[in-house]
Structure 1
């Protein structure tokens, strides 16, 4: 069976080839952890759908200076120490109790892309102990993708995600769904910020929500005319 890449993905890749700052930043980690056992985390920058993981030395502006936080249930976030592995950063944390942990990155590069301010972010849940409903209420990033029914995602299932900004839903948000097979497709969330898609293949997926606003402002002492946000999450389909 041939793997088809949607027209959107093709055009997106063409755009990214000419615009290094429009890549995505994403977190990869096992979705389940164990109490008192080290849990490994990796952070990449590039194009997931085409398996492009940029060398850190080539990351746009100061994106490499991001901070990875782990949101511990009922406690303040803790920064994860990272090591440069060439094409990604690697780190780990050790859960000390059961619950849902969230790995989070938010980074707005100091340099503008022309007249546009860019902001990259990623958020991923790690479940320790018995799985339950994912509660994102303690994390309110500027833009985030929240998994609604993907805890035990299986091939062929209909999956849902919600797009929020600082705790508020983002209606009609554009959401790209990428599979490690090379398949990608763009969806539009409904009025409640919810997008639904079919898990056509087993394996890892990256979801990326994006917003673009033509509104002037100032960032790092430089004026901009518009702003772009891109936020990802990572999930495994059995």
Structure 2
């Protein structure tokens, strides 16, 4: 089946004029963790659906200088220490309380794409203990995908997500869903920022949302005429 390139990844290609393919930044981590056991986290830059993961030294601009923040239930977020593994960064954390943890990245590259300011972000929840309703109120990124269906995700199940910006819903946001099988499809969220899709295959998925606005400003001492935001999340379907 033909891969449908998302608006998010299409715009991301403008960030790197010497590449003929699109890129995204995403976090990979299991949706469920175990108390007092190390939980592995990886961060990639490339094209998930086609299994293209760029070498870190070839990442665009200063994207590799991102900070990965860990939000522990009831505590202030902390920066996780990561190791460059060549085609990704790797690290881990050890849950010491039950509840929902969040892994978060927000990174605006120092270089503009023409006259456009770009901002990558990624947000992944990790449930430790008895599954609960995910409470995203503890994280308010400039753009994020909030999973409304998070427990025991299974093949054939209808999944829901909500697109928000700083805690407010984003109507008609463009969202693409990619499976590790190479399948991809683009959706548009409704007026309440809600997206529903069917998990057709087992395995990992990456969801990508994006917004674009003609708004002027200055970034790293350079003027821009428009701003783009893209955000990803990672899930695994059984």
Does the pair score TM above 0.5?
Answer: yes
The Cα of 1:74 is off from its aligned counterpart by 1.0
Map of 1:91 onto structure 2:
91
Q: Which residue of 2 aligns with 1:186?
A: 186
Q: For structure 1, which segment, 22-31 or 91-100, has the greater mean C-alpha deviation from structure 2 after superposition?
A: 22-31
Aligned partner of 1:46 in structure 2 is 46
- Equivalent position of 2:154 in the other structure: 154
Q: Which residue of 1 aligns with 2:202?
A: 202
Unaligned runs of 5+ residues in structure 1 are none
Q: Which residue of 2 aligns with 1:5?
A: 2
1:1-238 correspondence to structure 2 within 5 Å: 4-6=1-3, 8-9=4-5, 19-20=15-16, 23-238=23-238
Structure 1 residues 58 and 127, CA, compared in 2 at 3 Å: closer, same or farther?
Answer: same
Q: Tell me: CA distance 1:151–1:74, structure 2 relative to 1, closer, same or farther (3 Å).
A: same
In the alignment, is the contact (CA less than 8 A) between 2:6 and 2:186 conserved in 1? no
TM-score by length of 2: 0.94
Q: Tell me, what secondary structure is at the counterpart of 1:137?
A: helix
Deviation by residue 1:201-221 (Cα, 9 ceiling, x = unmatched) = 000000000001111110011
Give the deviation of 1:105 after TM superposition: 0.4
Which runs of at least 4 in structure 1 moved beyond 4 Å after TM superposition? 10-19
Distance in 2 (alpha carbons) for counterparts of 1:193 and 1:216 = 25
C-alpha separation between the residues in 2 aligned to 1:107 and 1:70?
15
Please give the alpha-carbon distance, in whole angstroms, between the structure 2 residues aligned to 1:111 and 1:18. 11
Alignment partner of 2:119: what SS? strand
Distance apart, 1:69 and its partner CA:
0.5
**1:118-144 CA-partner distances (Å, limit 9, x unpaired):** 000000000000101011000000000
Name the CA distance, whole Å, in 1 between partners of 2:71 and 2:8: 32
- Give 5+ residue unaligned stretches, structure 2: none
Distance 1:5 1:182 in 2: 8
Alpha-carbon spacing, 1:168–1:18, altered in 2? closer, same or farther (3 Å): closer
Please state how far the C-alpha of 1:33 moved relative to its aligned partner: 0.7
How much does 1:5 deviate?
A: 2.3
Distance 2:187 2:74 in 1: 34
Separation (CA, whole Å) in 2 of partners of 1:136 and 1:165: 12
Q: Normalising by the residue count of structure 1, what TM-score does the alignment of the two structures yield?
A: 0.94
2: distance between equivalents of 1:115 and 1:175? 24
Counting matched residue pairs gives 234
Quote the offset at 1:152 in angstroms. Answer: 1.4
Aligned equivalents of 1:86, 1:184: Cα separation in 2: 27
